[in-house]
């Protein structure tokens, strides 16, 4: 059925929205095509991605999402653009900007976009939206044009917890989280379970950098938390804290212990100090969401990625895993298989 023309009041709202978006765009970094559009079957599909705190170049989750976007451009031929909000108030404006320009899919990188996605998706019902680490609304339902991309972070954290428990010489290990929220508690719960699976006597020390999004970009606080844990005997410290984790790496280096990175291979952030990293394949989730839209099989709701989907894991091969004994790798691989088969249920909290 053809849509009816909007009444005068609605037309005024549309004009106001366009003016508002134009003003908002001036506060954002310019959207830009990420790479020349290659030949492919879906050159008419446009995808916009809005980065989370830290932006592109964080060598972590934002960069992983960008890799998925780039892969979609190369393999599917879709046109891609990105925006980096300059502040919290710009997240919604950035998503509206892409939607108002008629993009087929708009992606928000990070749980912090959840509310923004819900609001904008209802205003643009013909546009598809995806949100990484999406938190469903406390009241009401998920908009039908929204897919929430979620991960079993606890499964990947379980594996690095097992590594920490097996290599620790003191029987004490640490965990530094960014913002104290259920999502980051999943990392802690999985890590603790992995440590206890292989080393029941081991003690896990836990600290969080804060209760606001700024907790993900406070290296000074991260270093202080890690120093406290190391001083209490921790000889391996795992972080799930964004750029706050840089402080964890510095503390581990300065005090001669090992650190474990998160989301991407962070070995090069502190070679010789980073023992391994828990890998969270945001690139897999982003590519799959784009492919679903391009192939016409988009479905709203929740999608979850874990060990079975090869979307979480840890760095266990090559020179970046050289500090992990082969026997330890074999034991952890066996644990991973048990998780995939359902023999081990890793807790989320």
Report the sign of the C-alpha dihedral through residues 319, 320, 326, 329, in that order: negative
- On the 0-12 / 13-18 / 19+ scale of CB atoms within 10 A, 206 is middle
| 42-51, 231-240, 254-263: segment of lowest average pLDDT | 42-51
d(CA 217, CA 143): 31
pLDDT (tens digit per residue) in 59-100:
778 888 999 999 999 999 999 999 998 877 799 999 999 999
CB-CB contact of 88 with 70 (8 Å): no
CB-CB contact of 93 with 24 (8 Å): yes
Those residues with Cβ within 8 angstroms of residue 10's Cβ, 6 or more apart along the chain or in another chain? none
pLDDT (tens digit per residue) in 332-342:
999 999 999 99
d(CA 51, CA 231): 36
Most confident of 13-22, 38-47, 78-87, 272-281: 272-281
- Examine the pLDDT at 6 and tell me if it is beyond 70: no
Average per-residue pLDDT for the chain: 89
pLDDT of residue 52: 85
pLDDT of residue 57: 79
Which pair of tokens denotes residue 187? Answer: 């990392």
pLDDT of residue 43: 80
Tokens 């979609």 locate to 72
pLDDT of residue 91: 93
Those residues with Cβ within 8 angstroms of residue 107's Cβ, 6 or more apart along the chain or in another chain? 47, 48, 49, 50, 65, 69, 129, 130, 131, 132, 286, 289
Q: Which residue has the higher pLDDT, 29 or 80?
A: 80
d(CA 269, CA 214): 21
d(CA 234, CA 227): 9
Helix or strand (DSSP H, E) at 91: helix 90-100
Q: To the nearest whole percent, how much of the chain has pLDDT over 70?
A: 89
pLDDT of residue 39: 59
d(CA 273, CA 260): 8
* Terminal Cα distance for the chain, rounded: 48
pLDDT of residue 18: 39
d(CA 54, CA 242): 8
pLDDT (tens digit per residue) in 276-319:
999 999 999 999 999 999 999 999 999 999 999 999 999 999 99
pLDDT band at 5 (very low <50, low <70, confident <90, very high): very low
pLDDT of residue 61: 82
pLDDT (tens digit per residue) in 192-251:
999 999 999 999 999 999 999 899 999 999 999 999 999 999 999 999 999 999 999 999
Which domains are delineated in the chain? Answer: 12-151+283-308 (3.40.50.2300), 153-280+316-340 (3.40.50.2300)
Helix or strand (DSSP H, E) at 225: helix 219-231
pLDDT of residue 40: 66
Beta strands per DSSP E along 180-293: 203-210, 236-240, 258-263, 274-280
């Amino acid at each position: 059925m053809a849509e009816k023309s909007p009444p005068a009041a609605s037309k005024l709202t549309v004009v106001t929205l366009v003016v508002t978006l134009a003003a908002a765009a001036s506060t954002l970094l310019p959207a830009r095509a990420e790479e020349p559009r290659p030949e492919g079957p879906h050159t008419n599909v446009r995808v916009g991605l809005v980065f989370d705190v830290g932006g592109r170049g964080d060598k972590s989750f934002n960069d992983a999402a960008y890799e998925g976007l780039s892969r979609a451009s190369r393999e599917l031929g879709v046109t891609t653009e990105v925006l980096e909000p300059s502040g919290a108030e710009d997240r919604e404006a950035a998503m509206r900007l892409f939607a108002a320009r008629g993009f087929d899919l708009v992606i928000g990188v990070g749980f912090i976009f959840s509310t923004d996605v819900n609001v904008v998706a209802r205003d643009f019902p013909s546009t598809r939206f995806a949100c990484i680490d999406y938190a469903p609304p406390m009241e009401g339902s998920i908009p039908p044009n929204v897919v929430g991309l979620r991960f079993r972070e606890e499964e990947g954290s379980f594996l690095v917890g097992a590594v920490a428990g097996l290599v620790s010489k003191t029987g004490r290990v640490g965990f530094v989280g960014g913002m104290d929220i259920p999502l980051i508690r999943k990392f802690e719960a999985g890590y603790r379970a992995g440590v206890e699976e292989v080393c029941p006597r081991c003690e896990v020390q836990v600290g969080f950098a804060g209760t606001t999004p700024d907790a993900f970009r406070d290296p000074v606080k991260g270093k202080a938390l890690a120093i406290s844990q190391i001083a209490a005997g921790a000889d391996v410290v795992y972080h799930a804290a964004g750029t706050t984790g840089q402080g964890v790496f510095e503390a581990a280096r300065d005090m001669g212990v090992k650190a474990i990175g998160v989301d991407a291979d962070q070995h090069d952030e502190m070679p010789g100090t980073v023992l391994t990293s828990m890998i969270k394949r945001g690139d897999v989730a982003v590519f799959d969401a784009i492919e679903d839209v391009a192939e016409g099989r988009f479905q709203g709701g929740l999608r979850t990625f874990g060990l079975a989907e090869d979307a979480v894991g840890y760095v266990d091969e090559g020179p970046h895993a050289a500090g992990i004994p082969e026997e330890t790798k074999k034991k952890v691989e066996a644990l991973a298989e048990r998780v995939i088969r359902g023999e081990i249920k890793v807790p989320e909290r």
